[in-house]
Structure 1
Amino acid sequence: MAYEVPQLPYSFDALEPYVSTMTMDCHYNGHHKAYVNNLNKALADHPDLAAKSPEELIRNLSAVPENIRTAVRNNGGGHVNHSMFWKMMAPRAGGEPSGKLLEQLKATFGSFAEFQAKFEAAGLARFGSGWVWLVRVPSGGLEITSTANQDNPLMEGSYPVLGCDVWEHAYYLKYQFRRGDWLKAFWNVVNWPEIERRFEAKEA
């Protein structure tokens, strides 16, 4: 069965004024749809690989034939990243996390505000296109990292807890070149219940 773009859990205008309606429309119907179409095309002659989940594919890229590996990495990564990203945001969201996640953020980074500052700094430091992440490393600890293009922490053995898209297509229609403004605005749409769920998930 071909991969499909998952249904968006809110309307295109639901994240206004922080994420513009046009940005959501272009991002979802343009970019994410293209990643899915290109991934299906790359795997058209490989039904054994197409039967795997996109997460399984990108976790084990060495099992993908070399002639389609880059296409699977880029488009499979794009599909996984965006499928998570839509759920990591929500209308009437933001604020702070609670419970064990908040405790570990404070223990790891000093305070929630310090975590936010370090997350934004990592997003600003990513040269060109990519993502900034809060990940759970195999030892169980939390780290802030960033990846180029559509790479995902799953490719490196870490589990993505929170991610922010810092490709220009994620923010340019509203924020132009001001990536820092986008990263600050992002906190207003973070779906902390989903992030807390991911933090406590059992995936490796």
Structure 2
Amino acid sequence: MEHKLPTLSYELSALEPYISKNTLEFHYGKHHQAYITNLNNLIKGTAFEDASLEDIVKHAEGGIFNNGAQVYNHTFYFEAFKPKGGGEPKGKLLAAINSSFNSFDNFKAEFSKAGATLFGSGWVWLAADSAGKLNIIQKKNAENPLRDGYVPILTMDVWEHAYYLDTQNARPKYIENFWQLIDWDLIETRFEKS
């Protein structure tokens, strides 16, 4: 199976002023594409040649895992945005957030803190455990909570290439901007499927 760069549901300039067209040209157009190209080259002739991204994330090691997980993580990340997003979730997702974190504001503060305090490069995840309880999970580099039996719901990329062109070293400003773009309808759909 050949993995391909997924088409975004929005124009590259549509997330401005929170994420610039320039950042998306590099982050989506170059970084994401490079992981896809590397993955396609690495899986040729291996047991993962016809595997789904989810299977690669769960079972691969080394370069195949690193590139496959980064393809999965970035796709999951970019899909969660929409122009004029943000606000708050509703329905079952909001109820689950309130149950797990006492309030949406508390969840947002804890998730933001997890992003601001993750040392180095990585990802912050909102993921459901086998009982459906929501958890905030910090992961280094390409790591993904799928490997630990969780179902990912939302992720925030805290690698510097996600924000450096827009906010330079101000990761907290990037995190503040992140909340303005979330497509809560999509995140709720992910949660309901979990």
Q: TM-score, normalised to structure 1's length?
A: 0.92
Question: Which of the numbers 89, 92, 106 marks the counterpart of 2:84?
Answer: 92
SS, match of residue 166 in structure 2: helix
Aligned residue for 2:48, secondary structure, equals helix
Instruction: Please give the secondary structure, in 2, of the residue aligned with 1:146.
Output: strand
Matched, 1:44 2:44: yes
Q: Tell me the distance in 2 between the aligned counterparts of 1:36 and 1:110.
A: 39
Counterpart position of 1:56: 55
Aligned counterparts of 2:177 and 2:48: Cα–Cα separation in 1 = 38
Counterpart of 1:65 in structure 2 is none
TM-score (ref. length: structure 2): 0.97
Q: How does 1:126-141 map to 2 (within 5 A)?
A: 126-141=118-133
| Alignment check: 8 A CA contact 1:130 1:165 kept | yes
What RMSD over aligned residues (CA atoms) do the two structures have, in Å?
1.0
Q: Would the aligned equivalents of 1:9 and 1:86 in 2 still touch at CA under 8 Å? A: no
Q: Does 1:21 align with 2:21?
A: yes
Q: How does 1:187-198 map to 2 (within 5 A)?
A: 187-198=179-190
For structure 1, which runs of at least 5 residues remain unmatched after alignment?
62-68
Flag as ranges the 4+ runs of structure 1 deviating above 4 A.
Answer: none
Secondary structure of the residue aligned to 1:96 is coil
2:141 to 146, 149, 164: 149
Aligned length: 194
Distance 1:184 1:31 in 2: 23
Q: Is the 8 A contact 1:136 1:143 kept in 2?
A: yes
| Aligned position for 2:112 | 120
Alignment of 1:152-191 (within 5 A): 152-191=144-183
Deviations 1:141-200 (A, max 9, x none): 000011111111111111110101000000010111111111111110001001000001
